[in-house]
Chain A
C-alpha cells in the first residue's frame, strides 16, 4: 500500500499546475523551530531575560507555536521578589510593553540552563524520559532560529556565572546538527559583548549569523527604568524588537533589512553578520522564513477512512465494596511491625576481615584446633 501522504501529494501534483507546485517547494523548509536562550542569572541581569522574552514574543506573534519553541531562561525575573510588578517583564521604560504576557511556557528554567543541556537540545542527545516540550524535534526541512544572550567575551559565552561555552564547541554542535540532518537553514543571533567572535568558527553550510558587536567592542544596554531599578533591554535587541514589531506573517521584508538594524549611531557598537556559509542570497531570504511559521495547507477532495472507534467493554460490576483509608490510624501505626530489611550478602570488606581474623587465630594456636570446629 502506498503511504497515504505520498498519495495525497501525487493527487495534488496532478490537480494543480506545475507553477504552483514549484512555488510550493521553493523555499525548501516545511517547519520552523526556535531555540531562545538567556544565560544570565541574578536580578541585575533583568535585561537579558527581557531580550529573550521579546524575541519569544515576536516569534510567537508571527506564528511559531509553543511546541516548536524551546525557551531557556536561567533565572526568574517576573516572579522575583525584587520585581515591583510581579508576573511582568517590561521592555520599554514606563512599563509600556509587557513581554512576559499571559501565555508563556518556559521549557528550561533556573538551574536547568547549562551548557550541557543546551548542547544536548541542539544535538538531540537527551535522556529517553525527556518530555517533548524540552526537545528540539527538527528534521532536514526545518528552519531553526537560535538566539543567545548574556555575558560573553572573545570566543566564549558565560552560562549562569559558573561555566562557559566556547565558539569552537558551538561550531562543532552545529556541524553535528548538519551531519544528523537536523536543520535545513539556521539563523544564529547573539547579543553579548564581542558577539562576533562566536560565529567566527562556524564551518557548516546554510548558517547565517548576526551579532550585536564586533570583537573588542561591548554591547551596551538601552535604558533603565527608575521604578524597577535595572536596565530593561540591550540596545541591539531593543531596536531589533522595534523592527520586528512592524513585521506581520505576510511581510516580504528580507534579511538585508535585518542587517541594517541598529547602526552604530544607535547601538554604539557595530553589529556584524556572516553570510558566506549561506547558500541563498540574503536578499531573497524573508524574515518570516525564520521568525514566522508560514504553514502550507494541503487541500484534498478525497475521503479518508478513519479506523473504527474503540468501544469500551463494560465489565461486570465488582462485588467488592471500597472504602476510604483512615488518615491517621494511631493504633495501627503504633503496632506497625518494622520493615523487614532485605538481606544482603556480606560485603567484601567484612569477608576479608573475618578471613584475616581466622587466619591469625589458626596461625597462633596451630592447625590442630581445626578438628574441634569441624
Chain B
C-alpha cells in the first residue's frame, strides 16, 4: 500500500481574521479590543503592478506601493490609558494621532516622501495629518524597531510624529470602517456604533501594516493589515446602577453573524480571575475554552466562535451578558508604569519630570525613553538628571539632537536600567520661547501640547513566552514579536503635557494703529496748519436793510455804507 500523500490544502491568497476580546476590569469598567487582520500573499515591490485587490483595501495598497512603505503604524486616540487602574493594553497608543513609518531602502528622499505620505493619509482618514512637518517629526535612533520582517534596520528610513491635539470623532471612524472587507454590515464590525464608542473613557483606533512570514520557514512574506480598536467603557458614565455588562449595553447592538469573508471570527472573554464562576457569571454559557500567553501572563478565555451557527442559539443573535456577583479581587499590579508632569511657576521657565516605576520585587530591566519636545520649549540639557532611589543612575546610552528654532524639535533618547522596586525620576529644565504673533493658533490661551514620551522595555514575564511565530495564535497575543522566552516587549506612553506660552495681547496692532494715527493727525495736522495757514480779512456780511440801502445808493451813484 503506498503512503497517501497528504497535501496541505492550497492556501488562500487572502485571509481575514476578526476577533473581539472583552476583559472585565476590577473597577467595574470593561475593556473591549477589536482586531481585524487581513493577510495578503503578494509582494508589492517585486511585482510592478497589482490590479486585483480583493480583501485588502485599494487605497492603502496604492499608498504602500507608491511611497515604498515597509511598515506603517497610525493610531487615533481619545483619552489616556490609565495603567494603574486598567492594566496593560493589548495595543498601546498615545493620546491624539501618532504616525510612524519605515520606508524601504530604495527611497532616495525620505523627507519629501514623508511629507507626501502624511498629506495622502490626511485625506484617507479625514484627519489634519497635514500638520505633520519637520517641526514635529523626529528620527528615533534606537526606539521603534520594525515590528515586521526585514534584515536591515537603518534608522534613516524611520520617521515618527505625533499630533497630541488631534481630535478623534465619527469622521475618523467612518473611513476606518470603510477599509474593512465587510464594512460595518456583517461580522464584529456591526458593533462599532459611534454614539456608544465615543461615550467611553478611552477610545483608540489604529491601522498597522507590516510584512510577516507566510509560514514557519519564513522564505516568503505576505502583507499583514491589522485594524485595531480599543475601548474602555465606564460603569458610571453610562448610567448603570447594577454592575452588569452586555453587548447591547456596550454597543447598542448584538451579533447576528460572522463576516462571510472571514475565515475565523471569534469572541474571547477573559475569565482568568473567575475560574469557578465566583466573581461574575457569563451567559450564554460556552464550552470552548482557550489559554493564551499574553503580556507576560497566562490567561484563560471563554471563546464564542461566530462561524458556528450554534453560537447564536434559537434567537439568532448573540447578546453576551456578564453579571457580577462579588466585588472582591485585586488587580495584578503592572510591572512598569510611568507618569509625567510639568513643575515650576510663571511663564518663563519650567521643569519636566518623568517618573518610571518598576514594581518587580527583585528583577531590574532596561527601558528606552524617547522624548520629543517642540522647539518652543528650550531644554537646558545640562540640567538633565536621572535618579533612582535617591542616587544618580547613569544611562548606558544617550542620544540627543538639539532643536532648531522653527525647523525641528528636540529629540532625547536614553537607555536606563531600572533597579527593582524603585521609582526613577528624569528631570530637565526648560525655558519658554516667545513666538511671532502670526505663529499663535486662533486659541492660544488653551496652551500648547507636548507629545507623550514613549517608554519601550523588555519586562520579565512570569510565564514562558512563545517565540515561535505561527499563525494559530489569537491575534491579541501575536502583535509584538517575541525573541526570548523570559521577557516580553512592552511600550507605554506617558501623559501629554499642556504648557502655556507667554501670549501677547492680540489687540495691540489695532491699538497701535489707532494711537499712531491719532497722534499723527493731531500733532502733524496742527503743525501744518500753523505753518501754512494764512489770514485774510473778510468783511462781515451786512444785514438785509443795509444791503437794500447799498443797492439804492449805488443806483443813485453815492458811495455805499
Contacts and interface: CB of A to CB of B under 8 A. Distances in A.
A344 interface: no
A236 interface: no
B42 A130 contact: no
A89 to B, nearest CB: 10
Given A41-B442, A78-B170, A87-B199, A323 B126 contact: no
B372 to A, nearest CB: 17
Contacts of A343: none
Contacts of A336: 141-142, 397
B130 interface: yes
A129 B115 CA distance: 8
29 contacts: A78-B198, A79-B78, A87-B195, A105-B126, A105-B175, A110-B128, A112-B130, A129-B119, A131-B120, A133-B123, A160-B442, A309-B51, A310-B50, A310-B51, A313-B47, A315-B47, A317-B220, A322-B221, A323-B151, A324-B148, A324-B469, A324-B481, A324-B483, A325-B150, A327-B456, A328-B145, A329-B145, A333-B368, A336-B141
When A and B form their complex, which 6 residue pairs have the shortest distance between CB atoms, in order from nearest?
A131-B123, A324-B481, A79-B169, A129-B119, A87-B198, A322-B149
Interface of B: 42-43, 46-47, 49-52, 78, 115-116, 119-120, 122-124, 126-128, 130-131, 141-142, 145-151, 153, 165, 167-171, 174-175, 193-195, 197-199, 213, 217-221, 366, 368, 396-397, 399, 415, 441-443, 456-458, 469, 480-481, 483, 489, 506
B116 A129 contact: yes
B467 to A, nearest CB: 10
B123 A330 contact: no
B417 to A, nearest CB: 9
Interface string A94-113: 00000011111111111110
A109 B219 contact: no
B241 to A, nearest CB: 19
A76 interface: yes
A100 to B, nearest CB: 6
Interface string A146-188: 0000000000000011100000000000000000000000000
A79 B151 contact: no
A111 B171 contact: no
Contact of A321 (B145, B218, B399): B218
A51 interface: no
A134 interface: yes
Residues of A in contact with B, size category: 35 or more
Contact of B119 (A87, A131, A312): A131
B171 A325 contact: no
Contacts, number: 161
A330 B368 CA distance: 9
- Chain B at the A interface: mostly helix, strand, loop or mixed? loop
Contacts of B52: 309
A130 B124 CA distance: 11
A100 B458 contact: no
- Chain B CB within 10 Å — which of A129, A130, A133, A320 has the most? A129
B167 A110 contact: yes
- Chain B CB within 10 Å — which of A87, A102, A130 has the most? A87
A85 interface: yes
B219 A328 contact: no
B280 to A, nearest CB: 27
A321 B458 CA distance: 25
A319 B217 CA distance: 11
Nearest to A326: B483
Given A317-B220, A323-B218, A328-B456, 7 more contacts: A79-B78, A86-B198, A104-B170, A313-B47, A321-B217, A325-B153, A327-B145
A329 B195 CA distance: 43
A102 B168 CA distance: 14
A334 interface: yes
B292 to A, nearest CB: 19
A134 B221 CA distance: 35
A318 interface: yes
A179 B42 CA distance: 48
Contacts of A369: none
B213 A322 contact: yes
Interface string A42-62: 100000000000000000000
- Chain B CB within 10 Å — which of A78, A309, A318, A322 has the most? A322
Contacts of B481: 324-325, 327
A321 B193 CA distance: 43
B270 to A, nearest CB: 25
Contacts of A321: 217-219
B43 to A, nearest CB: 7
A194 interface: no
Nearest to A107: B126
A343 to B, nearest CB: 17
A88 interface: yes
B151 A111 contact: no
